[in-house]
Amino acid sequence: MMTKLFQLQKIAVIKCFMFLFILHFQNLMAQTSSVKETNYQRIENAEHIVVYQEENKFLGWPANNGAWSADGVNMLVGFTHGDYELIRDNHNIGGNQISWLARSTDMGQTWEGYDPVGYVGDFGKEQEPQILEKPIDFSHPQFAMRIVGASYHGAQDERAHYFFSYDAGKSWSAPYRFGVDDIREWPELKNTTLPDQTELTPRTDYVVEGKDECLIFMSVREKGKFGTDRLFCIRTLDGGKTFKFVGWVVPPFDERKVDLSVKIKLEEDDAQNPHPDQSRAVMSQTVRLENGKLICAMRRRYNKHNWVDAYASQDGGVSWAFLSEVGDAGAGNGNPPALNITDKGRLVAIFGNREEPGTMMVVYSDTEGASWSKPKIIRDGYGSVDMETIDLGYPQLLRRKDGKMVALYYWSTKDYLHHIAATIWDADK
């Protein structure tokens, strides 16, 4: 009797182990089948440079801070400079967060970082921007503009303001308001499905159109509500003294005005897919082609999905149409794009992908943004202390005088924790 009982127990144990093995094997197969493609080609002619690094400091987010080059030789990039602090499941940045700049005078080969005087954040969180009296000369050969909004690095201003420079960012004038009126009270923003309480969340994205003319890209969202940003553009015709609404790139969702059958294909179940206007649209980078067409690449998000889209305008920004999906920005909160044009007219877009282990990706378009090449890796080998948040990217993209591209972004390795990096390569090869 005892022998039979022992045999039954033995069989039960074996069955239990077999069940656990099968379950483990099934989970392993499911994980393997869900892994995204990782065999991307790498850019072979890329040169990686440390722009600025400092012990016990966390440096990041060039896309939030801007980058400029007046001549393709002298270059400037902004970034956030703060104390390094290991924080679980978050950015490893603590206190003393300041807007810094780094300058290069040799086409991005060497850089010097510094805290500029009279710049973003130096006027307090409750600063009162001035009203511009003397028109700006946007055509000045060393003109640069830095735009500031609410709820991100540098300063807080729900109405938005800007700084400008005539010496390639060595000194800055301002801060100035975007005209006398609060943009949030404009009828074009009020007569939408936006709530009464809103805030402007622009980064620095503008297209100079002449001595007195400039097209500026803005975003607006429900106050304090992450992910509700929608994108529009405004224009000044009098050197920045006044501004007027031009058009929505991605407007607030209004089911009365859109074709509800048009959806972004994110899920297999089409009922779970959103209309394009239901997805976050923010942190744009815009270029104007020789034929006058505007191409605007932007950061998109819906639920757990993060990607980059391109929209186009043929009428100076009044109307916009979806052009193409530029690329996949990976896990977490994704990444914004940087966009530029090579000497041969090729569009170049870069963005970070936060899928582990983390990469910087580049895509090209020889069809004015209608289609894009398969992504290539311009940088991998990311490494940080915790590897919990793949904290990288937020790039800017400048073109050198010799035609090569300079990608500027934040990065981390075991030797150099979160720092500002550059990758230089020939995007026309």
For 257-266, write each residue's pLDDT tens digit. Answer: 999 999 999 9
Least-confidence region, from 2-11, 42-51, 175-184, 193-202 = 2-11
Residue 125 pLDDT grade (very low, low, confident, very high; cuts 50, 70, 90)? low
H-helix or E-strand containing 376?
strand 376-379
Q: Is the pLDDT of residue 240 over 80?
A: yes
* Residues 6 or more apart in contact with residue 33 via CB below 8 angstroms: none
Residue 151 pLDDT grade (very low, low, confident, very high; cuts 50, 70, 90)? low
When pLDDT is averaged across residues 11-23 and rounded to a whole number, the result is 42
Q: 42 exposed, middle or buried (CB, 10 Å; 0-12, 13-18, 19+)?
A: exposed
Check residue 115 and give its pLDDT: 97
pLDDT per residue as tens digits for the range 344-369: 999 999 999 988 789 999 999 999 99
Is the separation of the CB atoms in 375 and 362 below 8 Å? yes
Question: Is pTM beyond 0.85 here?
Answer: yes
Measured from the Cβ of residue 126, the count of other Cβ atoms closer than 10 Å reads 8
Check residue 58 and give its pLDDT: 96
Check residue 387 and give its pLDDT: 74
Q: Higher-confidence residue: 354 or 394?
A: 394
The 3-state DSSP class for residue 65 equals helix
Check residue 390 and give its pLDDT: 86
Q: 96 exposed, middle or buried (CB, 10 Å; 0-12, 13-18, 19+)?
A: exposed
When pLDDT is averaged across residues 97-123 and rounded to a whole number, the result is 96
When pLDDT is averaged across residues 257-284 and rounded to a whole number, the result is 96
Q: Is the pLDDT of residue 5 over 70?
A: no
Q: Give the start-end residues of each E strand in 18-153.
A: 47-52, 57-60, 67-69, 75-83, 98-104, 112-114, 144-148
Q: Is the pLDDT of residue 150 over 50?
A: yes
- Percent of the chain clearing pLDDT 70 (strictly above): 90
Task: Give the helix, strand, coil percentages of the chain, each rounded to 5.
Answer: 10, 35, 50
Least-confidence region, from 121-125, 133-137, 202-206 = 121-125
Q: Higher-confidence residue: 414 or 73?
A: 73
Q: Is the pLDDT of residue 107 over 60?
A: yes
**Residues 268, 271, 276, 282: is their CA dihedral positive or negative?**
negative
Strand partners, 100: 79
Give residue for tokens 């998000």: 301
pLDDT per residue as tens digits for the range 22-63: 333 333 333 333 334 557 899 988 999 999 999 999 999 999
Residue 152 pLDDT grade (very low, low, confident, very high; cuts 50, 70, 90)? low
Closest CA to 362 of 380, 381, 343: 380
What length does the chain have? 429
